[in-house]
Structure 1
Amino acid sequence: MRLNQPVPHEDIDLEAVDLTDSTLYGAGDPHSIWNAMRHRDPVRWQQVDETLGFWSVTRFEDADLVLRDHTLFTSQRGTMLFLLGKEDPARGRQMAATDPPRHTRMRVPMQRALTNKQVEKYRDAVTTEVHRLLTPALGGEPFDFAEAMMNLPMATAGTMMGLPRADWTRLTQLTTMSIAPEDPEFAGPGGVEATLQSAHRELFAYFHDILRERRDNLGDDLISLLLGMDIDGRRLETGAILSNCYSLILGANVTTPFVPTGAMAELVGTPLLDEWRSDPKLLNTGVDEALRWASPANHFMRYALQDIELRGKKIRAGDAVVAWLGSANRDEEAFDDPFTFDIRRKPNRHIAFGSGAHYCVGHTVARMSLKILFTELFENFESFELAGEIEHLHSNFVAGIKHMPMVAKLKQGSVKRYAELAR
């Protein structure tokens, strides 16, 4: 999805817009559409077929309300557009598809396992994986930075869940099929539904086998934590554990990889990248801005629990409401000069990780991984340049780049170090 300056909002025909269409995000200009919606119709109904439709909210304040207030909007009927009109089989069992107070009781043990102190234990593993993923840049030939980044999240998720490293590549591919079933590169035979079913079937079968082995060999990994979790006096049933394993790995693979590609696509060849790279004090604010800029989770869906009026529109109980995070994070009412990548932006109250009770439980992991990656890039490479066309993922759920040919030149002092690591 292009992260460009929007065209004048008057030039957009909102009647012709279909925000469910995955090709819009792969080849179109959704930021111009969202900009037009923010100015002309920030709470807009889209009819999908004869019986189904949803409200789109594109302003920051409204998106934050929809995601934050579980007394007005529920997560238990589906959180992604591909579930529109369907009952979510994970409702009440998966954290992402469960409302408080049960959600809170499920979340607390996971949150304790993912504190900054706990995730620091995995810093060396992530650093090693970053080195491995960047070794194709050693020869000075073009390498696909986006492909490398899509494999980054498994360094933490795979390690923290105790999953064999040999399985990481396939798990990355299956989660990408789950979030981009219409992308020609990841779609299987039989269309969208068949792709989703195939990916889900293989992922759940995989974790079912992992659970069978792990029950007799509990450790300090996240799957062992789920196996030992006690909610309302009962252990989680197998289906609930499987659903949460799926959610954890999906969350990792959705959030992390598309932030560095979005940032580098904007900054490569500009003085701003050199400025960011030369000042370590800007690492944290720069990473937060990269999260706002990329907004990798494109949308989250909720259902209204009661009638509510929002910006003059009457949303009825039971209506689906979709918060577009990428739009909210470009709202000029919430951010000064929102279409400028500002490495010093502070405060930066973006909702790239969501808002409220469902704020991404793995945000500490994502932030650590991104800081390690950008530190590695800035300390060891002296220049970057694009070496071909950027290709965007076809997905209405994830805003991401799937191919980004780039040439990176190592600093003289890092050549020997990277050569040794590549052996």
Structure 2
Amino acid sequence: MTAVPPTGRCPVLAPHRLDLIDPDLHQRDGAHRIWRDLRHRAPVSRQSAGSLGYWSVVGYAEAGQVLRDHDTFTSERGTLLNLLGKEDPAGGRQMAVTDPPAHTHLRGPLRQALSIKAVENDREEIRRVVAGLLEPLADGGPFDFAVAMTALPTAVIGAMMALPEADRPRLARLAHACVAPDDPVFRLGGGGPGATLVTAHRELFAYFQDTVTARRRSPGNDLISVLLTMELDGRRLSPGEIVSNCYSLLLGATVTTAQPPSAALAELAGTEALDDWAAHPELLSSGVEESLRWSSPTQHFMRHTTRDVELRGTAIPAGEAVVVWLGSANRDGTVFTDPDTFDIRRRPNRHLAFGAGAHYCVGHTVARVTLRILFAELLGRFTGIEPAGTPRRMRSNVIAGFTHLPITARVRNPLP
């Protein structure tokens, strides 16, 4: 692997040696080795992607700069690499691909609806969902923890959106198909990644279109009803804008909540670290933050430069795609001591798992509360958590996680 030092010239890594877009690389967990090398050799580098190209950013400081400076690095042309070279049709309409000030107007009501006070009202429902997902682990036989966790985010956000419980398993599968269409586990209808993505998008948008129409006739206190009351530029959101933001909320929850528990157990199961964590409930929050840093479930965010800019001594022209690799930024040794160790006592832990700046994940409170409840239930009720088979990583450059993680455990405190 070769790189031109970042001296204002254009660092380009040999394309035949490096393809960070390749989902197989992420499934093999090979990206961390490459990211580590890039952080030393070329923290900002030009990468090839077929006939297209993008700028790869792997360091913590530079990642934070890109994510926070929305004036220079816009989200409105798409935030994921599957849109490289295309324009995002939701740009300026969906909160995730809208810059301030419009983004701020969209974000305000949702941030209030997803505040800690609002989430606390759903705490017992979240606990009920978590207990139900973990119940089969009490049988003592092999339990696929990763499969159980894929149902967690849709169950929680589904309740907050007042979506019928019977619909949630299908929604979970469609949401995962959108973020991991390259993984055969989530393929739809026997088609390839492209067909899977088209099918998943079509079915989710059709589902939310029907749901929004029905909710407009009978609104409540749920998130979809909040979207129905929101305004942008002095007008109510259009049905298409509401549907697009419903889709964004579902996918955001899917990416941020399902994977940190699986990543934590993949690293800690069979070690004394889990018993140590269980013996120190005061470390629940710091352990959850470490699971977020360690897993960095969102692999990347993409932005586009609105003007010529210099980043870490490298000149990037206007109109260029810039990709921040969150998993790399969260293992930057200049920020995190012993970054490749899962440390439940890590403080401070200013990870970028939820992004940074104006686009900091609006659902971070829901994710954190859900993860704290999940780990409290898991560590409070079970002990002797051991691997029971070979884990299987997800084949995706969007979401870092597992499709299979077999474990066994013993009941610590039987349910009353």
TM-score (norm 1): 0.93
Aligned AA for 2:380? E
- The equivalent of 1:393 in structure 2 is 394
Question: Deviation per CA, 1:97-149, whole angstroms, max 9, x where unpaired?
Answer: 00000000110011111110110111111111111111111210001000001
- The equivalent of 2:87 in structure 1 is 87
Shift of 1:63: 0.5
Counterpart-to-counterpart distance in 2, 1:147 and 1:83? 28
- The equivalent of 2:257 in structure 1 is 256
1:234-253 matched pairs, under 5 angstroms: 234-253=235-254
- The equivalent of 2:370 in structure 1 is 369
Aligned AA for 2:158? G
Q: Is the 8 A contact 1:386 1:405 kept in 2?
A: yes
Question: Deviation per CA, 1:361-409, whole angstroms, max 9, x where unpaired?
Answer: 0000000000000000111112200000000110000000110000011
1:210-289 matched pairs, under 5 angstroms: 210-289=211-290
Shift of 1:351: 0.4
Question: Deviation per CA, 1:70-102, whole angstroms, max 9, x where unpaired?
Answer: 011000000000000111011111010000000
Shift of 1:342: 1.2
Q: Is the 8 A contact 2:15 2:48 kept in 1?
A: no
Q: Is the 8 A contact 2:77 2:91 kept in 1?
A: yes
Q: Is the 8 A contact 1:125 1:155 kept in 2?
A: no
Counterpart-to-counterpart distance in 2, 1:40 and 1:339? 19
- The equivalent of 1:32 in structure 2 is 33
Question: Deviation per CA, 1:201-240, whole angstroms, max 9, x where unpaired?
Answer: 0000000110111001010100000011122210000111
- The equivalent of 2:77 in structure 1 is 77
Q: Is the 8 A contact 1:72 1:304 kept in 2?
A: yes
Q: Is the 8 A contact 2:306 2:319 kept in 1?
A: yes
- The equivalent of 1:9 in structure 2 is none
Shift of 1:26: 1.1
1:207 aligns with 2:208: yes
- The equivalent of 1:107 in structure 2 is 107
Q: Is the 8 A contact 1:14 1:37 kept in 2?
A: no
- CA, structure 1 residues 363+118, in 2 after alignment: closer, same or farther (shift >3 Å)? same
Aligned AA for 2:18? V
Instruction: State the 4+ residue runs in structure 1 displaced beyond 3 angstroms.
Output: 12-15
Q: Is the 8 A contact 1:14 1:33 kept in 2?
A: no
Aligned AA for 2:398? F
Aligned AA for 1:336? T
- The equivalent of 1:314 in structure 2 is 315
Shift of 1:301: 0.2
Counterpart-to-counterpart distance in 1, 2:29 and 2:372? 30
For structure 2, which runs of at least 5 residues remain unmatched after alignment?
1-12
Counterpart-to-counterpart distance in 1, 2:136 and 2:380? 17
Question: Deviation per CA, 1:294-350, whole angstroms, max 9, x where unpaired?
Answer: 000000000011111112221110000000000000000111111111111111110
Q: Give me the identity figure in percent.
A: 55
Aligned AA for 1:246? Y
For structure 1, which runs of at least 5 residues remain unmatched after alignment?
1-11, 418-423
- The equivalent of 1:175 in structure 2 is 175
Moved more, 336-345 or 388-397: 336-345
Q: Aligned residues, how many? A: 403
Shift of 1:27: 2.2
Counterpart-to-counterpart distance in 2, 1:389 and 1:14? 32
Aligned AA for 2:382? F
- The equivalent of 1:122 in structure 2 is 122
- The equivalent of 1:140 in structure 2 is 140
Aligned AA for 2:79? T
Partner SS state of residue 138, structure 1: helix
Across the aligned residues of Structure 1 and Structure 2, the Cα RMSD in angstroms comes to 1.2
1:49-68 matched pairs, under 5 angstroms: 49-50=50-51, 52-68=52-68
- The equivalent of 2:303 in structure 1 is 302
1:403 aligns with 2:404: yes
Moved more, 26-35 or 197-206: 26-35
Counterpart-to-counterpart distance in 2, 1:176 and 1:408? 27
